[in-house]
Amino acid sequence: MRIAETGMSGVYVIEHTYHKDLRGEFFKVFNGALFREAGLVTDFREAFHSTSVKNVIRGMHFQVPPHDHEKLVYTSHGCVLDVVVDIRPDSSTYGQYFATELSAENRKSIYIARGFAHGFRVLSDSATVHYMTSTEHHAESDRGILWNSFGCDWRLKGIDDDPVLSDRDRSFPGLENFDSPF
């Protein structure tokens, strides 16, 4: 397992070592000692599993303090474009985003600190995404920003790439109208 910096303070891509034999393959998603050594949170309190079809965009989600959280995200089936945007006003990267592919094939995960909005777009026919968070979900603290308000290249090229979003995700304010609680 290798924890790689991304250029955004608090966001890391984790490259997993895997083992493959005639039974299939195996890899470790989380190692507390390595995370602690890198200064990352290791006390995850809740885990989620989502399945989505091609061109679904889920995001850009976060929870406001005091229920904000760190998040560890990986994909066990399919491929997604995983996106985080810095919503910490005092950060030198405020409003900037980082995007990377997470897939069952590349076996990468992403660690996201507090103060970032997170989302993803499904690039394959379907995808299964897993999230571990350092706090439990608190519905009244659940927020988001509009997926297309911060200049992200979501790789939408043609008519077959129209994104599928929930009404809730379409209703979020744009980054330019967002009053950050961080």
Q: Is residue 82 within 8 Å of 14, Cβ to Cβ?
A: no
Q: Is residue 41 within 8 Å of 68, Cβ to Cβ?
A: no
pLDDT, tens digit (0-9, with 9 covering 90-100), for 146-168: 999 999 999 888 766 789 999 99
Q: Check residue 160 and give its pLDDT.
A: 66
pLDDT, tens digit (0-9, with 9 covering 90-100), for 31-75: 999 999 999 999 999 999 999 999 999 999 999 999 999 999 999
The distance of Cα 64 from the centroid of its chain, to the nearest Å, equals 16
Q: How far apart are CA 179 and CA 117, in angstroms?
A: 13
Instruction: Kindly write down the DSSP assignment for every residue of 139-169, as one continuous string.
Output: GGGEEE--TTSS-------SGGG--B--HHH
Give the DSSP H/E element, type plus range, for residue 99. Answer: strand 97-103
pLDDT, tens digit (0-9, with 9 covering 90-100), for 86-129: 999 999 999 999 999 999 999 999 999 999 999 999 999 999 99
Q: Give how far Cα 126 sits from Cα of 13, 24, 56, 65, 123, Å.
A: 22, 21, 9, 33, 8
Q: Is residue 133 within 8 Å of 109, Cβ to Cβ?
A: no
- Catalytic machinery residues: 61, 131
DSSP 8-state symbol, 172: S
Give this prediction's pTM. Answer: 0.94
